Amino acid sequence: MSEFTSKKVMVFGGSRGIGAAIVSGFADAGAAVLFTYAGSKPAADALAASTGAVAVQSDAADRASIIAAIRAAGPLDVLVYNAGVLVGGDPLTIDPDAVDRLIDVNIRGPYHAAVEAARTMPDGGRILVIGSVNGDRTPFPGLAAYSMSKSALQGMARGLARDFGSRGITVNIVQPGPTDTDMNPAEGPDAELMHSVMAIKRHGTAEGVAKLVLYLAGPHAGGITGAMHSIDGGFGA
């Protein structure tokens, strides 16, 4: 028996990067895993084939699509909302439609996913959202909309932790710092700048973030709720 045997886990935004590491981690730990993706069908199909997880095409910017995917999945023991987009740049010239889509994926999506999952989640369930250390700290210009979206998750987690605590359902935010993915490659042009504000001057790994998610979803974390958990190399120190 593995730790998550007989548990059903759904990961929103699981085709690549941190989400894919979370899918693999839960599948390795014995869970029945479903994950959503938006555009990366080849990556999603490959991940499904290698892990046994079920891939579901669903746009996390679309509330109706999120709710339909959760209803189709049935009661979830663990919901992980990882989908996120980064739109950076001068707020005076940035495309306002891109900012609105960021708000849809990064704020509206996790709220509606968490509430819908909680309707049928058994007592003791787990809701986890991938935030960012930028929810606490924004040391560079051009990140206002992204940071706003990740700070919003903090209030959501505190509130939903109170709403669902009587059922033993925990609600937590995992806040990575720079992590080596397509969104933020360890060899990318801004890597050195990011490392300059970190205590440990290197990118973290998607697998490291996934391990923290699995701990918070596991049996020893039942008393951890309404909290933010940074894994950021001291970016926020």
Among 31, 78, 85, 212, binds ligand NDP (CB under 6 A): 85
Q: Which stretch binds ligand NDP (CB under 6 A): 1-9, 54-62, 119-127, 217-225?
A: 54-62
Angle (CA) 97-91-80 rounded to 5° is 60
60 is a site residue for ligand NDP (CB under 6 A): yes
The number of beta carbons lying within 10 Å of the beta carbon of residue 197 is: 18
173 is a site residue for ligand NDP (CB under 6 A): no
* Interacting residues of 178 by C-beta distance below 8 A, sequence separation 6+: 184, 186, 191, 194, 195, 198, 203, 204, 232, 233, 235
Helix/strand/coil (H, E, C) string of 165-204?
Answer: HHHCCEEEEEEECCECCCCCCCCCCCHHHHHHCCCCCCCE
Among 59, 77, 127, 147, binds ligand NDP (CB under 6 A): 59
83 is a site residue for ligand NDP (CB under 6 A): yes
181 is a site residue for ligand NDP (CB under 6 A): yes
**CB of residue 175 to ligand NDP, shortest distance in Å:** 7
What is the SS3 assignment for 32?
A: strand
95 is a site residue for ligand NDP (CB under 6 A): no
Using the minimum distance from each CB to ligand NDP, give the nearer residue, 163 or 190. Answer: 190
172 is a site residue for ligand NDP (CB under 6 A): no
79 is a site residue for ligand NDP (CB under 6 A): no
